[in-house]
Structure 1
């Protein structure tokens, strides 16, 4: 009996041990499953958060205002602040009108209007240099075309004024009739519109990081060379005519001691030097750009690309100084012309 009792006791102990072991294994398995499920949920939440962050729109970084953009924006801002009032004053006040012929009055008014039209587009270009273009492709092309038309119109008007004064002072040429004046102004704007067509063609929207820019994008190197050479040729021809005309006028004035006027010398010198200083850097960079494309020089081409905005901004300074040079300070040359037997011929 005792032996049987000991056997039952041993079996009960084994059963109890096995039961405890099974319970421990079940608890461990349950804990492991819960822990793994918790980790899986945390990973899922982390994945969802990461996906939401990556799919949400990332704001663009602040604009990188390099020195070239800042200098260009400052120069254009000064041109707008000084040039708009000056050219508006010429249109409203019409200075020295009593000393000018009808043709000269029309050319002066045309010069002031073309300069004013050009300067009124500057706020958009200033914003574009500092931020991004937001007006679309059509506005990009049309505003660029308008800017080039006004710039070419200003340059051609300055050239016409110089040639007119040369003919009237040196050759005592009589004034054009009213119909001739209208045809001349129409021809000036027609030529300006034709010369501005390449700007209308090559202007496109380009991306620079997160920013959209309205800039010239050429379809081929040959197209870029053609555009740059056209701009350079027009500029060099115009400057040559202006310089030749006013130097000839200056020589004619100094043939007689009576006309030897330091103010006239200063005015003629200022006109030539200003035209040269403000337009020649842009024309030279254009020529260097053509040379860089022909020689496939990436370093020179990069230098030209970094310089175009700055030297291009200088051409707008000319629109600020034109009222002083031609409208408010041109009486001396007109006086010379009048004393040369042609009343109101300047």
Structure 2
């Protein structure tokens, strides 16, 4: 992710007011972009939760003494799963708007940002690990298991620290435009804190892209079969494409922050349509298992088949 997905808190003031005072069916006063966002978020949860659960179950019994790669996949699946559970809770809050204390809303926003940030950090660490393991194997081999655990722990700790300022700076929207009830959907992150948070995530995405681009270029100079090079390049190209898509929700959030700061009606209108673009981020939680865990298992399966065929040919010739 990664990106700053979240509840679009800066463009839906009028929506809440109109729907809360209307006696018609709820969908009749919902903007089509919000319906599209809800569909994308629902599909992400339906596809991503069971897939990430499957990876966690498969790897949970094999983590002791296993490679760094499997530990990264396990941590990525865990962060993706937690993020999708937060999406479910956010959907319930968005739809019902329960009366919740401010501290509880801060805690929910903190957990939400923590899961999203940790997932983004793990993806960044995976890109660095793959770069050094494939192109600089000797350097990566010097990294002891203790330092590998330190890297994994620091990823989660960094996510916890980066998510703290935006959550602490959570405040109420303009009370004159909102219903007089205490709900998490009536909260918003301070624009300055959100801008800093987006800048940090964009920097992480740029570093991730940098390592994958260098990896794709470096693979061309490695001695291996052309077919294997093509498979690796195709896999990395898909990962690069998904990483580039991560910038779209970040741009959407920048528009949302700009609309909040300038109070321009045009930006508010644009932001409504960009709401569904923000939710595209959650589709990555479904794509991550396919791009990393299952793709690696497929490659390992092909290598195992080739090894068995080679041994059978040796036995027959003997």
Q: Counterpart of 2:185 in 1: which secondary structure?
A: strand
Q: Counterpart of 1:217 in 2: which secondary structure?
A: strand
Number of residue-to-residue matches in the alignment: 269
Structure 1: gaps (5+ residues)? 1-57, 336-346
TM-score by length of 1: 0.68
Paired residue for 2:23, among 57, 61, 64?
61
Residue in 2 aligned with 1:126? 91
Residue in 1 aligned with 2:68? 103
2:180 equivalent to 1:214? no
Separation in 2, partners of 1:227, 1:333 = 42
Q: Counterpart of 1:258 in 2: which secondary structure?
A: coil
Residue 209 of structure 1: how far off its partner (Å): 4.2
Paired residue for 1:203, among 160, 170, 181?
170
Summarize deviations over 1:257-282 as a string: whole Å, max 9, x none. Answer: 634332212210111111211x2112
Separation in 1, partners of 2:54, 2:36 = 27
2:289 equivalent to 1:327? no
Distance 1:249 1:141, change over 3 A: same
Structure 2: gaps (5+ residues)? 1-19, 302-318
Summarize deviations over 1:215-254 as a string: whole Å, max 9, x none. Answer: 5435xxxx41x22322322222222222221222222222
Distance 1:322 1:138, change over 3 A: same
Residue in 1 aligned with 2:152? 185
Residue 139 of structure 1: how far off its partner (Å): 2.9
Are 1:91 and 1:109, in contact at CA under 8 Å, matched by a contact in 2? yes
Residue 178 of structure 1: how far off its partner (Å): 2.1
Residue in 2 aligned with 1:318? 284
Residue 148 of structure 1: how far off its partner (Å): 0.7
Residue 326 of structure 1: how far off its partner (Å): 1.1
Separation in 2, partners of 1:267, 1:165 = 12
TM-score by length of 2: 0.74
Separation in 2, partners of 1:228, 1:234 = 10
Summarize deviations over 1:280-339 as a string: whole Å, max 9, x none. Answer: 112213344555567x3613441454256323312111111111111111358889xxxx
Determine which structure has greater relative contact order: mean sequence separation of CA pairs < 8 Å that are 6+ residues apart, divided by chain length.
2
2:82 equivalent to 1:117? yes
Q: Which has the larger radius of gyration?
A: 1
Separation in 1, partners of 2:200, 2:74 = 22
